[in-house]
Structure 1
Amino acid sequence: MARLIDRIIRDPEAEREDVMVWPTHIVTRQSTDIYANNDPHIAEVLKYIHENISQKISVDDLVSLVPLSRRLLETRFKRSMSTSIYDYIIQVRIEKMTQLLSEGMSVSEAAVELGFSDIKNVSRSFKQLKGITPSEYRQQVIQGKF
């Protein structure tokens, strides 16, 4: 690829060729797009979740951020995001875990980094969402399949 770029820079008339570059992983942007939501309270909760995903996050922590009761927050979150707060936190953690595994972290290092206390729960949740275990995912990343 570098040779092709060099050749084109040196000779703008040089013959071009298509080069296919496969992505290694997807990185979620840390922008306001993640928090785009018509409900400002849900947007605030989403922002907090994404910015603190490596910490232990409870629904009570989120309730303290907004002027809503727990029940109302859970209801509005479910209506807005089509999932429960707890399930959303797990989904974000697993997505972050795939990123960390793709960057070369071990499964146990990634689990600790994301505040998972039990590796069995991590593996079960990961497999439910991704269809394979974290170890299988990491192995496939190493082999270049992801």
Structure 2
Amino acid sequence: MRRQSGLPYNGGLPARRGGGNLRIPDDIAVLGVDNDETICRLSAPNLSSLNQNIEQGGYDVARLIDRIIRDPEAEREDVMVWPTHIVTRQSTDIYANNDPHIAEVLKYIHENISQKISVDDLVSLVPLSRRLLETRFKRSMSTSIYDYIIQVRIEKMTQLLSEGMSVSEAAVELGFSDIKNVSRSFKQLKGITPSEYRQQVIQGKF
């Protein structure tokens, strides 16, 4: 595992320069690369990682090798292995936030994203009025609580679709009851429908 930002690795947590530890994901979110399941699952907390289109990269390398074999003078080129999606695990389940009440709300949202979440549920977690919570949340996250929940659900849906679930299976997994509303929200955020996204994943375009 590569060390993050030059910080020494210390028992699953990068140590803070000058002493003390950063809590993951409470103080800082950590994202790895290559999505090695063994490393990601053994890390504490489990490590989120950028998944890459390794299979397509293999085909591209094979084509380059074939071209060089056929023509030793052929131009060499770098083979780019493109990212497909982020596989989210505990290390990025919430974003670092200086407001402890907002951090608590974010943690609850991410841990219960498959359940129906209301603003009243979130208000009960913190010693803030509904209006104050909504004001502080929008100031901190630059979006409303409702829109943030939708964004997190759609991001989770892209992950499930990338892992092979059908649109209906992913919708059920995330507690969506209306596929049309899901498709509309998905297209607003991603520019394409869930079905189109899944098809492009299958074709190796994501």
TM-score, reference length from structure 1? 0.85
What is the CA distance between 1:24 and its match in structure 2?
2.9
Q: Classify 1:110/1:91 alpha carbon distance in 2 versus 1 (closer, same or farther; 3 Å).
A: same
Query: What secondary structure is seen at the aligned counterpart in 1 of 2:86?
Result: coil
**Greater relative contact order (Cα < 8 A, sep 6+):** 1
Distance in 2 (alpha carbons) for counterparts of 1:110 and 1:35: 24
Query: For each residue in 1:67-88, what CA deviation from the matched residue of structure 2 results, as whole angstroms up to 9, or x when unmatched?
Result: 1111110000000000000000
Instruction: Compute the displacement of 1:26 (Å).
Output: 1.6
Q: How big is each residue's C-alpha offset from its partner over 1:68-116, in whole Å with a ceiling of 9 and x where there is no partner?
A: 1111100000000000000000000000000000000000000010011
Given that residues 93 and 107 in structure 2 are in contact (C-alpha distance below 8 angstroms), is that contact kept between their aligned partners in structure 1? no
1:81 is aligned, of 127, 136, 141, to 141
The 1-side partners of 2:109 and 2:176 are apart by 15
Distance in 2, Cα, partners of 1:64 & 1:5: 61
**Higher percent of residues as strand:** 2
* Structure ranking higher in helix proportion: 1
**C-alpha separation between the residues in 1 aligned to 2:65 and 2:125?**
51
Q: Is the Cα–Cα contact under 8 Å of residues 114 and 173 in structure 2 kept in the other structure? A: yes
Q: State the identity %.
A: 99
Contact residue 161 and residue 170 of structure 2 kept, 8 A:
yes
Evaluate the alpha carbon distance shift between residue 33 and residue 139 of structure 1 in structure 2; reply closer, same or farther with a 3 A threshold. closer
Cα drift, residue 27 of structure 1: 1.9
Distance 1:143 1:41, change over 3 A: same
RMSD, aligned α-carbons = 4.2
Asked if the contact 1:35/1:44 (under 8 Å) is kept, the reply is no
Distance 1:61 1:20, change over 3 A: same
| Normalised TM-score (structure 2) | 0.61
Change (3 A) 1:123 1:15: closer
Distance 2:191 2:74 in 1: 46
Report the count of equivalent residues.
146
Task: Give, in whole Å, the separation in 2 of the partners of 1:2 and 1:110.
Answer: 34
Q: C-alpha separation between the residues in 2 aligned to 1:136 and 1:13?
A: 41
**Change in CA separation of 1:3 and 1:128 when aligned onto 2, cut-off 3 Å:** closer
Q: Deviation string for 1:10-31 (max 9, x for gaps)?
A: 9999999955322232223422
Deviations 1:33-81 (A, max 9, x none): 7331111000000000011111111101000100111111000000000
Q: Aligned residue for 2:175?
A: 115
Q: Secondary structure at the match of 1:45?
A: helix
Change (3 A) 1:67 1:12: farther
How has the CA–CA distance of structure 1 residues 100 and 33 changed in structure 2, closer, same or farther, with 3 Å as cutoff? closer
Unaligned runs of 5+ in 1: none
